Chains A and B, each alone.
Chain A
Amino acid sequence: KQEVTQIPAALSVPEGENLVLNCSFTDSAIYNLQWFRQDPGKGLTSLLLIQSSQREQTSGRLNASLDKSSGRSTLYIAASQPGDSATYLCAVRIQTGANNLFFGTGTRLTVIP
């Protein structure tokens, strides 16, 4: 079974800092990897999706990379803002017929003004 791990579990940074969130997965046979944001008590918002053939994706201040062979992904957030405070989840889609996702446990980010 695919296991997805995120480190650290929680992170606090001062406003303006650049930061990196880490995600690792045990089985490299994935279709793609997706990063989500979850605000407290809310649903998930998709941030970036990286196909297995890609190395990185960028959206605004966010950059996600994928090293499929080593089972790792990183989410880089530039110039962090208090509004970035949330839990960030990564999820991998495995190569089966079902279109389901295996999620990590998330990193809770706090950006201090």
Chain B
Amino acid sequence: EAEVAQSPRYKITEKSQAVAFWCDPISGHATLYWYRQILGQGPELLVQFQDESVVDDSQLPKDRFSAERLKGVDSTLKIQPAELGDSAMYLCASSLTRGSYEQYFGPGTRLTVT
């Protein structure tokens, strides 16, 4: 069964360092999402891609966060510099199209900033 892949699964970094997360969506899925989930809360959308284009990044803290999906397949989310408040689970999801309601989630990357 096809799955959304994410790496690394866990990351510990010091404050002010740079960190990057990678996501490989289900093959053929045009829409890719990055969510952030703070412990004890529900996920919140950071950025949404349709193919290689950003369609919604209104909640992305653009002073330190960046996301790209250069070839419209896999995606990278970067934080530079990391802050203590960035400690969270970062979830990637994909769907067939923007009109498709079914989003499939990856296992997530647990980030701890010390």
Are A42 and B42 in contact (CB-based, < 8 A)? no
Are B105 and A100 in contact (CB-based, < 8 A)? no
Q: In the complex, what distance in Å separates the CA atom of A104 from the CA atom of B37?
A: 11
Nearest-CB residue, chain B, relative to A103: B42
Which of A41, A44, A98, A101 is B110 in contact with, Cβ under 8 Å? A41
B45: chain A residues at CB < 8 Å are 100-101
Known: A4-B42, A104-B42, A105-B41. A99 touches B107 (CB 8 A): no
Tell yes or no: B48 within 8 A of A by CB.
yes
Are B42 and A32 in contact (CB-based, < 8 A)? no
Q: In the complex, what distance in Å separates the CA atom of A100 from the CA atom of B43?
A: 11
Which of A36, A49, A100 is B33 in contact with, Cβ under 8 Å? A100
Nearest-CB residue, chain B, relative to A4: B42
**Chain B 42-69 interface mask (CB, 8 Å, partner A; 1/0):** 1111001000000110000000000000
Q: In the complex, what distance in Å separates the CA atom of A95 from the CA atom of B45?
A: 16
Are B55 and A89 in contact (CB-based, < 8 A)? no
Are A31 and B42 in contact (CB-based, < 8 A)? no
A60: chain B residues at CB < 8 Å are none
Q: List 20 A-B contacts (CB under 8 A).
A: A36-B105, A43-B4, A43-B106, A44-B43, A44-B93, A46-B102, A46-B104, A49-B101, A49-B102, A89-B43, A93-B101, A98-B55, A98-B56, A99-B95, A99-B101, A100-B33, A102-B42, A104-B42, A105-B40, A106-B40
Interface residues of A (CB under 8 A from B): 4, 31-32, 34, 36, 41-46, 49, 89, 91, 93, 97-106
